[in-house]
Structure 1
């Protein structure tokens, strides 16, 4: 006769019993007999309310998904011979992305003879990393990939939550109507 190791509804060890006896105990207790470890010898079964078990495991899965954070990678493209003002503008975009909590992939695109001078792109990426060093960390060092050179930057701190900025911004307007009424 096939046997199983039975665990009671409160987690207590019942012992090794025949499957027929385990099913009879489950029926008497108005519970389900659920196999929790099928690879064990003998298999481990538990007396439980299977519908409640499924509901609770779904709740745990939903909670873990809620606590996950979605990682977004923004991309900023540059050319090796970029003008000073254009560089400042692109650097501002990178800073804005990092403040939003996103990772940034900076790509230098080489064309024609520029491909024979990869050190220009490397220096430009190093300069960008130094300019924003206090708010970002280099996650992937500059790497040549065909016509492009890429570097990935990750923010060093978490972005300010919207609740705190909204609460700070709502203090001033709340005071203004109160003074107007008084």
Structure 2
């Protein structure tokens, strides 16, 4: 029997017929309750306790008695792992956490301060003052040590300077990203303590609600590079 598709796959003008896509979008939602079609599961209780391997019938019965849902949390395990939970509440809390994370990320501003490994005391205090001001405002600070010439053979100088700066501002922030070499430079990121960052996010949200500024936008980012010119 001839392959009908082979005969009809090309039109006279050379335009191929497209095969119709079968099936719909793949769901990312976990299977719950009677949609879990396996003979047995490894059951986890609502508080994380290990119940063990039970039949799907018994697992569904326990979920019904507890007025909870049976949710498949590890479909590729053998047998699949299922947990007893309030799935509606779980989805709501997950959505709220994701929304909060996006909001905090939108209000995060990273400032940058640049130093030389052999910076003089007065300039160091000036640059440290910038870091203190940024952390108090709830902003992260990227500190960059710039090496030139023979200084590149002395990375320990930059590492010690970054350690010193982190210790000097420890009451306002913490080392979020440890010192690491980045080409000719060495960088470290200092983040504000959580209360400072949360206070800034709340102020920005309040301004957005009043209509002072659009949500997700903060004040203009200062050009920290201009504040932190390389030392001669």
TM-score band, normalised by shorter chain: 0.5 to 0.7
Tell me by how many angstroms 1:118 deviates: 0.3
Where in structure 2 are the equivalents of 1:165-176 lying within 5 Å?
A: none
Mapped partners of 2:175, 2:122: distance in 1: 23
Q: Which of residues 141, 161, 168 in structure 2 aligns to 1:124?
A: 161
- Figure out how many residues of one structure are paired with residues of the other and give that number: 112
Q: Give the structure 2 partner of residue 68 of structure 1.
A: 103
Mapped partners of 2:174, 2:158: distance in 1: 18
Q: Give the structure 2 partner of residue 80 of structure 1.
A: 117
Tell me by how many angstroms 1:158 deviates: 2.7
Q: Name the structure with the higher helix share.
A: 1
Q: Give the structure 1 partner of residue 229 of structure 2.
A: none
Q: Give the structure 1 partner of residue 143 of structure 2.
A: 106
Aligned: 1:89 with 2:130 = no
Write out per-residue CA displacement over residues 87-134 of structure 1, whole angstroms, 9 at most, x where no aligned residue. 000000001010111110000000000000000000000000110111
Q: Give the structure 2 partner of residue 138 of structure 1.
A: 175
Write out per-residue CA displacement over residues 57-88 of structure 1, whole angstroms, 9 at most, x where no aligned residue. xxx99xx48x8122111110000010101000
Q: Name the structure with the higher strand share.
A: 1
Mapped partners of 1:74, 1:146: distance in 2: 20
Deviating beyond 4 angstroms after TM superposition, the runs of 4 or more aligned structure 1 residues are 160-163
Mapped partners of 2:147, 2:170: distance in 1: 25
Mapped partners of 2:116, 2:149: distance in 1: 12
Instruction: Identify unmatched segments of 5+ residues in structure 2.
Output: 1-28, 36-94, 205-232
Mapped partners of 1:158, 1:92: distance in 2: 20
**TM-score with structure 1 length normalisation?**
0.52
Q: Give the structure 2 partner of residue 34 of structure 1.
A: none
**TM-score with structure 2 length normalisation?**
0.41
Mapped partners of 1:146, 1:135: distance in 2: 29
